[in-house]
Amino acid sequence: MFDTIVVATDGSTSVTRAIDVALDLAARFDADVHALSVVDEREVDASPEELRDDLEQALERHAESALATVDDRAGSGVTTAVHTGRPAEVICDYARDHDADLLVTGTRGRHGENRLLLGSVAERVVRTAPIPVLTVRQLETPADDETAVADA
């Protein structure tokens, strides 16, 4: 059913479960996994000109670290890529260019605290992706789950 799965990561803790779900699906369907992290060009362009090169390098290092996390969780066999651009567009283009069957993303990213249900990147990916998108939300912490059960 799935031959190629793309998982988008920004290195945030909320994407951890999405990575695990993507890797589990890949194992079940013997699919190839591509992990993609995008350096948002708008963040770089919005910074003072004298800081742009340093910021871009720092964001690239962060993206590479996020991809290393995926590779570590997988054990091996993950194709990784860092691209620069507008994240939602780059993610959709990457999935299309690699003939992916499924795109997996978290629902909130590094800037997701101001969004109620879906982060703005995840929302744009869902609306514009040429293939099915699986959004995976981070589960509540165990302490929150116990509180919810106690209140029920």
Question: By percentage, how much of the chain surpasses pLDDT 90?
Answer: 74
Give per-residue pLDDT as tens, 4-13: 999 999 998 8
- What domain range is 108 assigned to? 4-151
Domain count, the chain: 1
Give per-residue pLDDT as tens, 3-47: 999 999 999 888 999 999 999 999 999 999 999 999 999 999 999
Instruction: Provide the CATH number for the domain around residue 76.
Output: 3.40.50.12370
Q: Hey, what are 147's tokens?
A: 């509180």
Give per-residue pLDDT as tens, 52-78: 999 999 999 999 999 999 999 998 889
| Cβ burial, residue 103 (10 Å; 0-12/13-18/19+) | buried
